[in-house]
């Protein structure tokens, strides 16, 4: 699987190659461009090699001197996207959990095909209010955040309308262990599992569960991830939130999802595993 550093660095390499193409199309040498911009000669090389992320002013100077000012805003938007690929939780959540919940609404609304894999939690679109409250409270305490859980929970619940409305489709693969990890106590967990069993029968939802006794020689449990159409993959790490937009990396996650899906059981067999997990709570 990809790593945060490789994903971001590859995007920077690609951005640098784009800058080099613009310079070469202009007929300028790296030395000439550096002289025009008032840079040290080595700076142009570092920008084009991806070893130094450009500032927005660097991009403006680059395009201006290369006669490509019409590309400035697009390049700045791309650079801003690269900066947002790997975001530490402490930066993302500095204003509280409510803002985080609101920030993902646009991608949730526009995505038609969801592919979700989780090895330890019931994923967001399938969570009950009590389960959400328990998760967000734990996150707030662990990360020492401002207490806006009461404001964040309703927003997260409201986002789930996409499960019942529109043309959204959900393919969800869970490890059986995700049914067994107790979040919020026995009552909360029992209600959550009952809700999961219920929504698994919806036309918009395909739920697969990989049994604990499945042979994992081909592929063992990996980090949880969301695939939003073919546009991006999101991964929640311990320290940060990773957004993957490189097409070949998205393909890796798609192929991984397909392999995991082949290991899963569905329909009555999946609901039987949920029923056993509920029974174990008693």
pLDDT for the residue 5 = 53
Q: Which two tokens stand for residue 24?
A: 């070469």
pLDDT tens-digit series, residues 112-160: 999 999 999 999 999 999 999 999 999 999 999 999 999 999 999 999 9
Q: What are the strands of the beta sheet with 86-88, ordered from one edge?
A: 86-88, 240-244, 232-236, 225-228, 113-118, 169-175, 205-210
pLDDT for the residue 52 = 84
pLDDT tens-digit series, residues 154-181: 999 999 999 999 999 999 999 999 999 9
Of 112, 85, 90, which is closest to residue 166 (Cα–Cα)?
Answer: 112
Per DSSP bridges, beta strands 169-175 and 113-118 are parallel
Q: Which two tokens stand for residue 189?
A: 């967990």
Can you tell me the distance from the alpha carbon of 238 to that of 241, in angstroms, rounded to the nearest whole number?
8
CA 39 remoteness from chain centre: 37
- Domain layout of the chain by residue ranges: 4-83, 87-281
212: CB partners within 8 A, 6+ apart? 175, 176, 177
Whole-model pTM: value is: 0.78
Can you tell me the distance from the alpha carbon of 90 to that of 282, in angstroms, rounded to the nearest whole number?
38
- For 87-281, which CATH class? alpha beta
Q: Which two tokens stand for residue 273?
A: 């595993």
CA of 231: how far to CAs of 108, 149, 249, in Å?
12, 30, 11
Residues 239-251 have a mean pLDDT of 81
pLDDT tens-digit series, residues 184-214: 999 999 999 999 999 999 999 999 999 999 9
Can you tell me the distance from the alpha carbon of 263 to that of 277, in angstroms, rounded to the nearest whole number?
19
Look up residue 265 and give its DSSP letter.
B
pLDDT for the residue 9 = 76
Name the CATH superfamily, with its identifier, for domain 4-83.
lambda repressor-like DNA-binding domains (1.10.260.40)
Helix spans in 129-266 (H): 129-143, 149-158, 161-164, 177-180, 185-199, 247-263
Report the SS3 class of residue 243: strand
pLDDT tens-digit series, residues 4-30: 556 677 778 888 999 999 999 999 999
Average pLDDT of the chain, as a whole number: 92
Total Cβ atoms within 10 A of residue 112? 11
More confident: 55 or 3 = 55
275: CB partners within 8 A, 6+ apart? 197
- DSSP code per residue over 89-134: HHHHTTT-HHHHHHHTHHHHHH--EEEEEESSS--GGG--HHHHHH
Can you tell me the distance from the alpha carbon of 121 to that of 185, in angstroms, rounded to the nearest whole number?
14
Can you tell me the distance from the alpha carbon of 228 to that of 104, in angstroms, rounded to the nearest whole number?
11
């Amino acid at each position: 699987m990809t790593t945060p550093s490789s994903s971001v660095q590859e995007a920077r390499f690609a951005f640098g190659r784009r800058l080099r193409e613009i310079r070469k199309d202009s007929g300028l040498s790296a030395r000439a461009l550096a002289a025009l911009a008032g840079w040290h000669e080595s700076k142009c090389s570092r920008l084009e090699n991806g070893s130094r992320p450009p500032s927005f002013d660097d991009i403006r100077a680059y395009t201006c001197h290369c006669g490509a000012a019409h590309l400035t805003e697009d390049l700045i938007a791309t650079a801003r996207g690269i900066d947002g690929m790997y975001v530490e939780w402490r930066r993302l959540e500095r204003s509280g959990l409510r803002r985080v919940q609101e920030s993902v609404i646009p991608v949730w609304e526009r995505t038609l095909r969801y592919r979700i894999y989780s090895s330890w939690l019931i994923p967001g679109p399938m969570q009950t209010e009590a389960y959400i409250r328990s998760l967000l409270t734990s996150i707030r305490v662990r990360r020492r955040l401002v207490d806006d859980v009461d404001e964040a929970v309703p927003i997260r619940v409201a986002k789930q309308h996409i499960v019942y409305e529109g043309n959204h489709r959900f393919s969800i693969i869970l490890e059986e262990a995700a049914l067994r990890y107790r979040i919020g106590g026995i009552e909360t967990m029992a209600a959550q599992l009952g809700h999961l069993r219920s929504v698994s029968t919806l036309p918009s939802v395909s739920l697969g569960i990989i049994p604990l006794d499945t042979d994992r020689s081909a592929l063992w449990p990996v980090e949880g991830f969301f695939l939003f159409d073919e546009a991006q993959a999101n991964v929640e790490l311990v320290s940060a939130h990773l957004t993957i937009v490189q097409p070949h990396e998205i393909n890796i996650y798609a192929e991984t999802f397909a392999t995991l899906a082949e290991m899963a059981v569905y329909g009555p067999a999946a609901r039987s595993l949920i029923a056993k997990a509920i029974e174990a709570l008693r």
